[in-house]
Amino acid sequence: STHVTSARGAAQVLVASNRGPVSYAVQEDGSLRAKRGGGGLVSGLSAIGPDAGALWVCSALSDGDREAVARGVGEDGVRMLPIPAEVHADAYNGVANSVLWFVHHMLYQTPLEPVFDAGFWRQWENYGRYNRAFAEALADEAAEGAAVLVQDYHLTLVPGLLRKLRPDLRIGHFSHTPWAPVDYFRMLPDRVATEVLEGMLGADRLGFLTRRWADAFTACATKLAGGLGGTQVGVHGLGADAEFLRARSHEPDVEERIEALRAEIGPAPSGEPRRTIVRVDRTELSKNIVRGLLAYRQLLADHPEWHERVAHVAFAYPSRQDLAVYRDYTAEVQRVADGINAEYGTPTWTPVVLHVKDDFARSLAAYRIADVALVNPVRDGMNLVAKEVPIVSDEGCALVLSREAGAHEELAEDALVVNPYDILDTAQALHTALLMPQPERAERSKRLSAAATALPPKQWFLDQLNALTA
């Protein structure tokens, strides 16, 4: 071999992702406060823990993160890359979140978007720089023959780049998003489509959350990149971490929030607690929060018998607020929720209880008291909320689930399945869910929990590692 083994790093297993397990905020007194990262990727990978001996390479996302890197503060087993702010902004906000995310979730309003102009090509160059920074750091840290698990659409070029730097490594890539159908994917400029596919095909193995997304990738590779070459494609349906969720959701802070939430929701005229329709999401365009609210409004219009007896508890946590369309969407969610409260609310009843401040303990409190969970994305890689609620719910919860969520592939049998664009269909499903007798809800929740925990995060990770190193 021509490799200089003495220059190799020590890590046998490496994970790479844009968002790491923690991010830092600078406090007023100049100290740093660590906060858990959000989203499905972090929930899935956090279960691995530092004891697994993996090195997690991620980017420093905020000023606090960059400070932490500069001061040498950090978690064990995590290396944060201080990518220059402009490079990160172009790669993350520009290419990853405004282009690749939009393509895979089919979010463009195509008469006007996308526009691939000179500004895009500058962003694309910075996406290349950003991916190279990861590839170089991984090349630097990996031991001879190590396994590297690259995550998501931010890092599609890494497998190809890393393969050139370190042909000795076993390289995997996992997509936490859907994959676009060929006709949609090829809206990307040809060179971009090819470079993304070829970058990913630099991996030994590609992982997807469902068969549907794996097949869509294979179709793109076949049509636009001459096939899969030697790259394997596998499906790993990330499940929820039941043990962690059950324990965490019975901590005192969650009990406190249940009290507070019950008080805020208030009792029905009968004195019984009001029925609750719960949703918890990042305020994310693909989560379809506005149509969810419209369906709830339709329910109230069609079924006055629910007035004063139901509340829609909607938690919509800020996400990607650097992007104007996310800010606009956040405002629209608030506007529609306010509109429903103005139209139907009474001095004793607030029909929509909307919270926008991220609070994990309060999310778990809502899961516990939920009678109905509403998960209606227009397109979603998996959606872990659909898997978490049945596990955590105290008395069993009916699940209204979009057929476009990856979770649908595993949960369809015991969910009330909806077309997420169809407001009347969704309203009808909410009504059916509210009427579902408690014993049936409990039965279904039990079966949903079993399906939701079929592949817990640790096993999900180990399966990929084993498949990669086999």
Kindly state whether residue 287 participates in binding ligand G6P, applying the rule CB under 6 A. no
- Of all residues in the chain, what percent are helix, strand and coil, respectively (each to 5)? 50, 20, 30
Q: In 202-323, which residue ranges form alpha helices assigned H by DSSP?
A: 211-224, 242-248, 252-265, 289-302
What's the min distance (Å) between Cβ of 36 and ligand G6P? 12
| Residue 202 CA: distances (Å) to CA of 158, 177, 184, 225 | 8, 19, 23, 12
Measure CA 2 to chain center.
41
> Three-class SS of residue 209?
coil
What's the min distance (Å) between Cβ of 294 and ligand G6P? 24
Kindly state whether residue 41 participates in binding ligand G6P, applying the rule CB under 6 A. yes
What's the min distance (Å) between Cβ of 353 and ligand G6P? 24
Residue span 312-341 as binding mask against ligand G6P, x where in contact by CB under 6 A, dash where not: -------xx---------------------
> Three-class SS of residue 156?
coil
**Which of 5-13, 33-41, 141-149, 338-346 is the region at the interface with ligand G6P (rule: CB under 6 A)?**
33-41
What's the min distance (Å) between Cβ of 51 and ligand G6P? 23
Q: State both tokens at 22.
A: 């923690």
Q: Are residues 443 and 435 in contact, defined by beta-carbon separation less than 8 angstroms?
A: no
Q: Give, to the nearest 10 degrees, the angle between helix 289-302 and helix 324-344.
A: 10
| Residue 388 CA: distances (Å) to CA of 57, 256, 313 | 27, 20, 16
Kindly state whether residue 402 participates in binding ligand G6P, applying the rule CB under 6 A. no
What's the min distance (Å) between Cβ of 291 and ligand G6P? 20
Q: Are residues 211 and 233 in contact, defined by beta-carbon separation less than 8 angstroms?
A: no
Instruction: Name the residue whose CB lies closest to ligand G6P.
Output: 39
- Site size toward ligand G6P (CB under 6 A) is 10
Strand partners, 311: 276
Nearer Cβ to ligand G6P, position 41 or 399?
41
CA pair distance 186, 224, nearest whole angstrom: 8
Kindly state whether residue 22 participates in binding ligand G6P, applying the rule CB under 6 A. no
Identify which of 249, 243, 281 has the alpha carbon closest to the alpha carbon of residue 361.
249
What's the min distance (Å) between Cβ of 323 and ligand G6P? 10
Nearer Cβ to ligand G6P, position 87 or 436?
87
Kindly state whether residue 104 participates in binding ligand G6P, applying the rule CB under 6 A. no
Identify which of 400, 295, 371 has the alpha carbon closest to the alpha carbon of residue 340.
295
**Which of 34-42, 179-187, 291-299, 338-346 is the region at the interface with ligand G6P (rule: CB under 6 A)?**
34-42
Residue span 151-180 as binding mask against ligand G6P, x where in contact by CB under 6 A, dash where not: -x-----------------------xx---
In this structure, how many other beta carbons lie within 10 angstroms of the beta carbon of residue 51? 8
Kindly state whether residue 433 participates in binding ligand G6P, applying the rule CB under 6 A. no
Letter string b/e over residues 177-198, b meaning 16 or more CB atoms within 10 A of that residue's CB: bbbbebebbbbbeeebbebbbb
**Which of 3-11, 36-44, 182-190, 430-438 is the region at the interface with ligand G6P (rule: CB under 6 A)?**
36-44
Contacting ligand G6P (CB under 6 A), which of 38, 74, 181, 234?
Answer: 38
Kindly state whether residue 205 participates in binding ligand G6P, applying the rule CB under 6 A. no
Residue span 113-142 as binding mask against ligand G6P, x where in contact by CB under 6 A, dash where not: ------------------------------
Nearer Cβ to ligand G6P, position 98 or 319?
319
User: At residue 356, what are phi and psi to the nearest 5 degrees?
Assistant: -120, 0
What's the min distance (Å) between Cβ of 365 and ligand G6P? 22
Q: State both tokens at 159.
A: 């497998």
Q: Are residues 427 and 296 in contact, defined by beta-carbon separation less than 8 angstroms?
A: yes
Kindly state whether residue 57 participates in binding ligand G6P, applying the rule CB under 6 A. no
Kindly state whether residue 189 participates in binding ligand G6P, applying the rule CB under 6 A. no
Identify which of 345, 340, 253 has the alpha carbon closest to the alpha carbon of residue 290.
340
Kindly state whether residue 19 participates in binding ligand G6P, applying the rule CB under 6 A. yes
Contacts with ligand G6P, residue ranges (CB under 6 A): 19, 38-41, 152, 176-177, 319-320
